[in-house]
Chains A and B, each alone.
Chain A
Amino acid sequence: MSLESFAKDLEKIVGPENVLSNESDRHAYSYDSAVLEPKMPAMAVLPKRTEQLSDIIALCSRAGMPITVRGSGTNLSGGTVPDSEESVVIVTQALNNILEINEEDMYAVVEPGVVTAYFANEVAKRGLFYPPDPGSQAVSTLGGNIAENAGGLRGLKYGVTKDYLMGVEFFDASGALIKGGSRTVKCVTGYNLPGLICASEGTLGIISKAILKLIPPPKASRAMMAVFNGIDAAASSVAGIIAAHILPCTLEIMDSVTISLVEECEHIGLPKNAGAILLIELDGHPAQVAEDSETVESVLRKNGASEVAVAKNEQDKDKIWEARRKSLPALARSRPTIVLEDATVPRSKIPAMVSTIGEIAKKYDLLIGTFGHAGDGNLHPSILCDKRNSDEFRRVELAIDELFTRTVEMGGTLSGEHGIGTAKAKWLKMETNAATISFSKKLRRALDPKGLFNPTKITGTAI
């Protein structure tokens, strides 16, 4: 089948205006948020109804055309970069209906293209709470969140996307509709297909509908900021808070590089010489929040916090979180390229991880700012560089290689929340083993015999 006749058939399914195949459009779907070489697809298709997904997949299957599914293209591991110029990008952004928000049974049914923050806001309007809040939530889609098992700031207490996925409908490689999970809290009907699809990065099926768990929102919350001279004191405070059996809803850390860049850039009154800052938010019943916040404050002081500020009102709270909100922008503005990693270690290894990052920065002569989710061990070492400088970028690649090696040595994982995609595929064996990759490939071959679903992602081509 020629590309032209393939495009014509695609147009018959979605209408000519929803098949984008000119040069400029192909470029526009050649990248995502990962710092990787772009790859143009043959065309992009924007279905307007979820049923069209089935026909599109069946057509691609007949034509042997590889498929990359893309939500908003905010992926940080290259999962939405096309595999080859002979492939199709299916864009789910127009499949953006919230089909149901059930207040009585506390769940919602959504199409894959619904934007995360929009959804959370609609849920909040009905007095309920959808906790997963990835950094890209203003644009990311729920389908993408599921395909990547997206996390966010609230991971420590509330978990991540997989903890809210009750059910899923998806199309398999032949275009057949598969249903897994249910609207019920308990469901052991067959395999845990939602669990299989979650974090599958578009390699096992194409999500058309999801049932998401909602919970009652906390009645009260309190934010505080603690300043430390050194990172170790901040890390031992984190351990101390958990040891006191308190689970803050967010427990974020900023290292000295991040603090000074934020302050230089934004002048919001952060102590420029601080070694680390912890940003903490507690939520729950008002009485418990009050009690926990006293405990946390004393843990912080006992562990050597030089300053502890507790928000008295919404305005204070907003000011405290401003430091965290400005972290990524401040880092991004400091150099032309930012390589944002998400290597994750067991919580107790955070001091070791931070000093490892410092050693690596020194060894490869790079500027690395680190911030992230201290409470769950998911840090974001951000390498600030210029990808056009080939010598510098070679050092960046060496630094990443060493970072992952050391992470795995500490019992950590390559990716806390960004996924493997193509960016981290080469280290997968280091964390798992050859048999695991072979098992994964067999799984892929069984479900996708022609190897058309995002073929080069995670395990590399299985066929």
Chain B
Amino acid sequence: MTKIGELARAMREFDDRIIKCMRCGTCQSVCPVFTETHSEADVARGKLFLLSKLSEEMLKDPKLAREKLDRCLLCGSCQAACPSGVNTMAIFLEARALNARYMGLSPIKRLIFRGLLSHPRLFDFLSALSAPFRPVFMRPQKNAARTAKAPLLDILAGERRIPQMPRKTFSAEFGRIDLPPGKSGLKVLFFPGCMGDKVYTNVTKACVKIFKHHGVGVCIPASMACCGIPALASGDRDAFQKMAHLNIEIFKREKYDYIVTACASCTETIKEMWPKYAESDDDKKYAAMAAAKALDISEFIVDVLKVRNGPALKKASERVTYHDSCHLKKSLGVSAQPRVLIRMNAACELVEMPESDKCCGCGGSFTLTHYEISKQIGKRKRDNIVSVSPDVVAAGCPACMMQISNMLALNNDDIKVKHVAEIYADSLVEAVQ
């Protein structure tokens, strides 16, 4: 049987799920890519139709269809809005896995997922090794979004502003962290994720400060792997399973009441993807248990610790607007808690931007592979942010923070980008150790 034939046969498993699409087109009203392009093949209805044609072996050129499938942020907006309840996220993820299996993965993605992200020690080592050379590649800018120019990167990935990198990764600076529970009697396993460990170390530090303040024990094991979402989103099921497995083995050795992350995508991956797509039954079983304990930092503070009030009121000095990350609001249903966190910092006044839950356009590696569309979507987000003249834009996901910083920096906007955990932590007096 031809590869295309095999692919078609594998796609037929989707049939029952795709047929649920009644082609009403509601996804057009929420899809960030379609909003920019007005191209039917870019919206879930079009993609599902192409998948059905693929399974019927009606496509002469499946590569074209694959290109269309890749024009998707996996933001989940269509799934959240779908009247027929089509599970688009799972369908698109699984279709990408089949595509990768039958049509191969790009060499660069193969190198990153299988060479780097599946080998946390190597990743850490290379990060440490490269740190002294950063000044050669990166020119920090003096702007509110705290970005850097990277002329060499611009050649490879289009002109963009990247976050200023910390001198040391979190794990290189602190190694393993293991603090016992205090007055709360609770212990969390904190999963910083790649961004929280290597880029936004301040966010991880802010979370540790919050745990200490509330008497929560925290464990941050060394050498955790990437959560796996970049590999899964690109259809590299093998690399994803390896990363999930590495982490599960580490988690198994720890005792904890909750798993907390400050990254919407990591939380969603641990909660939704590990149990569904982990390799062995053992891993799946553990992942299901872990999923039940996994929470976003704002959920943990507001729903578990029941923290409601910040320190004594003083006059708000900073206007803060909040961006709802797709994986946080649409996938996990977390949208009230981050706002509570912002309001608990008495120095902050929360001002809502229009379309706060419209995708920022990052979509993980989407911004690398489809930078022009990503920028168009990001520009809309930037315009919405700027329209309420904030001092700070807050988010609950480092990937969104990176995208928003880039858009603000490219437009020379004087607006800071912060994680909601940083905003809340700023209001806390440093706990005495």
What residues make up the interface of A, taking CB atoms closer than 8 Å to B?
Answer: 20, 22-25, 27-33, 38, 44, 46, 72-74, 91, 93-94, 115, 117, 136, 138-139, 328-329, 332-333, 336-338, 386-388
User: Contacts A22-B61, A33-B23, A336-B19 given: A28-B84 contact, CB under 8 Å?
Assistant: no
* 18 A-B pairs (CB sep. < 8 Å): A24-B50, A25-B40, A27-B53, A27-B59, A32-B23, A33-B22, A44-B40, A46-B38, A74-B25, A91-B40, A139-B26, A139-B28, A328-B83, A329-B84, A329-B85, A332-B22, A332-B84, A387-B19
User: Shortest distance in angstroms between A422's beta carbon and chain B's nearest beta carbon?
Assistant: 16
Chain A contact residues: helix, strand, loop or mixed: loop
Residue of B nearest to A32 (CB): B23
**B9 at interface (Cβ–Cβ under 8 A)?**
no
Q: How far is the CA of A136 from the CA of B26 in the complex (A)?
A: 7
User: Shortest distance in angstroms between A139's beta carbon and chain B's nearest beta carbon?
Assistant: 4
Q: Which of B15-63 contact A (CB under 8 A)?
A: 16, 19-20, 22-26, 28-29, 38-41, 46, 49-50, 53, 58-61
Q: How far is the CA of A337 from the CA of B65 in the complex (A)?
A: 24
User: Shortest distance in angstroms between B195's beta carbon and chain A's nearest beta carbon?
Assistant: 34
**B213 at interface (Cβ–Cβ under 8 A)?**
no
Query: 18 new A-B pairs (CB below 8 Å) besides A27-B50, A72-B25?
Result: A22-B61, A24-B41, A24-B68, A25-B41, A27-B49, A28-B50, A28-B68, A33-B23, A73-B23, A73-B25, A136-B25, A138-B29, A139-B28, A139-B29, A332-B20, A332-B85, A336-B20, A338-B22
Residue of B nearest to A29 (CB): B40
Tell whether, in the assembled complex, residue A332 and residue B46 are in contact, meaning their CB atoms are under 8 Å apart. Answer: no
Q: How far is the CA of A139 from the CA of B43 in the complex (A)?
A: 12
Q: How far is the CA of A33 from the CA of B23 in the complex (A)?
A: 5
Residue of B nearest to A117 (CB): B29
**B410 at interface (Cβ–Cβ under 8 A)?**
no
Tell whether, in the assembled complex, residue A23 and residue B39 are in contact, meaning their CB atoms are under 8 Å apart. Answer: no
**B336 at interface (Cβ–Cβ under 8 A)?**
no
Q: Chain B 170-186, CB within 8 Å of chain A: the 1/0 string?
A: 00000000000000000
**B64 at interface (Cβ–Cβ under 8 A)?**
yes
User: Contacts A332-B83, A337-B19 given: A139-B39 contact, CB under 8 Å?
Assistant: no
* Number of residues on chain B facing chain A (CB within 8 A): 29
Residue of A nearest to B17 (CB): A336
Residues of A within 8 Å of B83, CB to CB, are 328-329, 332
Residues of B within 8 Å of A336, CB to CB, are 16, 19-20
Tell whether, in the assembled complex, residue A28 and residue B28 are in contact, meaning their CB atoms are under 8 Å apart. Answer: no
Q: How far is the CA of A319 from the CA of B413 in the complex (A)?
A: 42
Q: How far is the CA of A72 from the CA of B59 in the complex (A)?
A: 24
User: Contacts A329-B83, A332-B83 given: A23-B23 contact, CB under 8 Å?
Assistant: no
Q: How far is the CA of A74 from the CA of B28 in the complex (A)?
A: 10
User: Shortest distance in angstroms between B118's beta carbon and chain A's nearest beta carbon?
Assistant: 32
Residues of A within 8 Å of B67, CB to CB, are 24
- Kindly identify which residue among A20, A31, A93 contacts B49, using a CB–CB cutoff of 8 Å: A31
Residue of A nearest to B58 (CB): A27
Residues of A within 8 Å of B28, CB to CB, are 72, 139
Tell whether, in the assembled complex, residue B24 and residue A74 are in contact, meaning their CB atoms are under 8 Å apart. Answer: yes
Residues of A within 8 Å of B53, CB to CB, are 27
Tell whether, in the assembled complex, residue B20 and residue A333 are in contact, meaning their CB atoms are under 8 Å apart. Answer: yes
Q: How far is the CA of A117 from the CA of B30 in the complex (A)?
A: 13
Q: How far is the CA of A30 from the CA of B59 in the complex (A)?
A: 14
User: Shortest distance in angstroms between A106's beta carbon and chain B's nearest beta carbon?
Assistant: 26
Q: How far is the CA of A336 from the CA of B29 in the complex (A)?
A: 23
Q: Which of B78-116 contact A (CB under 8 A)?
A: 83-85
- Kindly identify which residue among A23, A25, A46, A329 contacts B59, using a CB–CB cutoff of 8 Å: A23
Residues of B within 8 Å of A44, CB to CB, are 40
Residues of B within 8 Å of A20, CB to CB, are 39, 41
User: Shortest distance in angstroms between A141's beta carbon and chain B's nearest beta carbon?
Assistant: 10
Residues of B within 8 Å of A337, CB to CB, are 19, 22
Residues of B within 8 Å of A387, CB to CB, are 19
Tell whether, in the assembled complex, residue B19 and residue A24 are in contact, meaning their CB atoms are under 8 Å apart. Answer: no
Tell whether, in the assembled complex, residue A28 and residue B41 are in contact, meaning their CB atoms are under 8 Å apart. Answer: yes
Q: How far is the CA of A10 from the CA of B24 in the complex (A)?
A: 29
Residues of B within 8 Å of A74, CB to CB, are 24-25
User: Contacts A23-B59, A23-B61, A24-B41 given: A333-B26 contact, CB under 8 Å?
Assistant: no
Q: How far is the CA of A34 from the CA of B59 in the complex (A)?
A: 22
Residue of B nearest to A330 (CB): B83
- Kindly identify which residue among A33, A93, A136, A333 contacts B38, using a CB–CB cutoff of 8 Å: A93
